[in-house]
Structure 1
């Protein structure tokens, strides 16, 4: 699994909405709102009981490349791919999850927080990692410090990033894409505020291409 695998799956998209969806009934309208805002990909986190059916419905939407996030076991990876996940994201580095994703033929993006964890990922022949949680770890300063001795690594920083910090992250050459939940929060979904989700997504996508 190389960075070109993930890059080809993302197809140039540099903003990755990270979604925690409690009810499958919201999956269709959410996918519509994200696609209307110009998003081409999304990550559905395995943090709720409905995560798998949400992923399945959003993957069937057709307008988005959908991946699974917060995947912590090989079995979760297997079920996510069966539900339509095109890529897998983990909060940390786990050899068994990486091996399962390789077996399934999907890109896997493990989370790292230290140079030691990054070296483990590189040893496993992975050159794209998720810096998580990015902002609590020190944000761009930490990302640049990690990138300096490992110049072939590409990062997908996620965690605590909002619209105000998006452009700075995307301007860094080590950043492949940025993950964030501000475009579709739990509060947005509870209110059914899909127009606001569309607006925030469109704003983020516009910032990613300028």
Structure 2
């Protein structure tokens, strides 16, 4: 397992940024540092997604930043150029996987086809939306039969996290509850920091 993936498996809870402006980056970085949860998955489907990755990677090198919801090879390439250290994609695109592997950037694409994983030498996948893909039965089957691990997502609430993270095939989860849209809109960074601290506890237990 590469260093970045190992770090994510130790952190376990990866905050997903879906609603953030570049001017809020210093506040986000402060909250991540104060909580000890120094990782963030930035959606590349928001207008400033690539710029957010760039600002975080350039000015806050102690924070591990990745590109989330990457839906094309071009988006993956731009995210990596901006400084993304990992890529989440809801697709399984061979060319995107090859690009990331060439750059030594771990990618966690989504598929329920184990043969694709073997062919592309992947042993950690994304899995979302969780329920639509078949949930725990699919996770357990693929994990047991093909020795695969997963980083899950898809409307996972804070109070549901234990049931996911207790599964032996799930390395980590990524979700937006740690960076709540309404709290960000209200610049309520106290609430955000407290949510990040609660998430951080999962890597300490």
List, as ranges, runs of 4+ consecutive aligned residues in structure 1 with deviation greater than 6 Å: none
1:85 is aligned to 84
Return the offset for 1:204. 1.3
Q: 1:57-81 CA distances to partner (integer Å, 9 max, x unpaired)?
A: 1223233100111112222122111
How big is the alpha-carbon RMSD for the aligned residues of Structure 1 and Structure 2? 1.9
TM-score relative to the length of structure 2: 0.90
Number of equivalences: 204
Q: Is the 8 A contact 2:9 2:172 kept in 1?
A: no
Query: CA 1:79–1:9 in 2, change beyond 3 Å: closer, same or farther?
Result: farther
Q: Is the 8 A contact 2:15 2:39 kept in 1?
A: yes
Paired residues for 1:108-123 under 5 Å = 108-112=107-111, 114=112, 116=113, 118-123=114-119
TM-score relative to the length of structure 1: 0.88
Q: Name stretches of at least 5 consecutive residues in structure 1 with no aligned partner.
A: none
Distance 1:135 1:194 in 2: 31
Distance 1:66 1:141 in 2: 31
Q: 1:80-113 CA distances to partner (integer Å, 9 max, x unpaired)?
A: 111111111111211111011112221111022x
Distance 1:139 1:202 in 2: 27
2:125 is aligned to 129
Q: Is the 8 A contact 2:88 2:109 kept in 1?
A: yes
1:106 is aligned to 105
Of the three residues 182, 195, 208, the one matched with 2:177 is 182
Residue range with higher mean Cα deviation, 99-108 or 133-142: 133-142
Q: 1:29-63 CA distances to partner (integer Å, 9 max, x unpaired)?
A: 11221221221211101011111111111223233
